[in-house]
Amino acid sequence: MSHNPTEVFVGGAVLAAAVAFAVYAGQATGLSRGGESYPLTANFRSLEGVSVGTDVRLAGVKIGTVTQVTLNPESYRADTVFSVAKTIEIPDDSAVVVSSEGLLGGNFVEIMPGGSLFYFEPGDEIDDTQGAVSLISLLLKFVSGGSDE
């Protein structure tokens, strides 16, 4: 069986591209970070548009991801666990908000830092939260003239 050098070269290039894509995908999703983050928890009234893997951002910069979302059967709120890069210290009076990327974009979790000199420890719960605002309900209010019937 003979091998054409061009076929070997093209095969190697395809394999190299596949490996590069796998490395990039691992970095983009945070799989390659391993122990470089710590968990924080929060519970929200509404997590519309947020799921596992959603970005956690501070000042528009991705600093972590949502790692777990469960419904609390007692409070009917969404209990959320998210990871934050170990190099980022979050003041313990910070707020967490579900923000939108725009009219057609998805939602993400945004940390609004406070001014405290003390910081959250791994596993701490952030109490000051604001859930997602439903764009559909806002549009319906606007169309109906803002009356709450």
CA dist 86 and 21 (Å) reads 26
Per-residue pLDDT of the chain (149 residues; tens, 9 = 90+): 567 888 888 888 888 888 888 777 766 655 555 558 899 999 988 888 888 988 999 988 999 999 999 999 999 998 999 999 999 899 989 999 988 887 667 888 999 998 889 999 998 898 888 877 766 677 777 787 765 55
Closest CA to 125 of 61, 75, 59: 75
So what's the pLDDT on residue 84?
A: 92
Q: Where are the domains of the chain?
A: 1-32, 37-142
Q: Are 65 and 82 in contact (CB under 8 A)?
A: yes
Q: Residue 86's Cα: distance from chain center in Å?
A: 16
So what's the pLDDT on residue 112?
A: 92
So what's the pLDDT on residue 144?
A: 79
